[in-house]
Amino acid sequence: MPRSTAGPKTVLCVDDTPYVLQMLDMFLTAVGYRAIIASHGREAIELASSFDLDAAILDYEMPDLNGLEVAHILKREHPDLPILMYSARQPQTEVSAAGVVDAYVEKENPQELVLALARVLGDPTPVLVRRRFPRFPASSRFTLRLQDAEDQAEIAFQGTLRDLAEGGCGGQVDAAIVPGDLVSLGFGVPECDITLELRARVRYRNADSHGFEFVDLTASQQKQLQLCVRTLAQA
């Protein structure tokens, strides 16, 4: 298919994790792109024949075809289509991907993905709303709780809090959780004199850290987090 020439540019997003697709749709729409989503490689190939695409963003590890296999097929059928690989770990395929993958972006960095997309499309650099993520000392701790799928017992894990924003946090925890999981996070921030127990959704997981997005915040909790983030940003 030729590239679109009118309206927002159309980007095919392929990932087998629903929450990642939701996030990509949100980020791309916010800066003026149109996202077409696919949950696996074969669906992506079919959609590429149905839409006038300007670019494709591919996950690497998928159950039917991996991202590089999809990239080769898309490039064969659409030689001028820019392709970005958005993966939790950069696959060791750069030599075989020469001329096929136009950019690699680590999966925990959707802002960089948007910037890379603009670069490969030759678009002006989009204006992104960036949050300040104050850094915590390594001694800051949190407790993650989740329900065991078999006996419904609650399991608790200790983690290290790395950063905090009004809508989520990042940290390191040795737990078998994946993006999309709902968990309970309990943490205290001595600098702000607050202790909170918050439900969160796992946003990403990479080699050494996790990202969490808070859900079901009360107005009081939101205010506490806002004040704490401002305090830490000024420290």
- Going along the chain from its start, the domains and CATH numbers come out as 10-121 (3.40.50.2300), 141-234 (2.40.10.220)
Residue ranges, the chain, pLDDT below 70:
1-6, 88-98, 127-139, 148-152, 206-208, 234-235
Handedness of CA 36, 55, 18, 113 (dihedral sign): negative
As a whole number of angstroms, the distance between CA 50 and CA 151 comes to 46
Is 104 in contact with 95 (CB distance < 8 Å)? Answer: no
Output the pLDDT for position 28.
87
- Nearest Cα residue to 26 out of 213, 221, 217, 219: 213
pTM higher than 0.75 for the full model? no
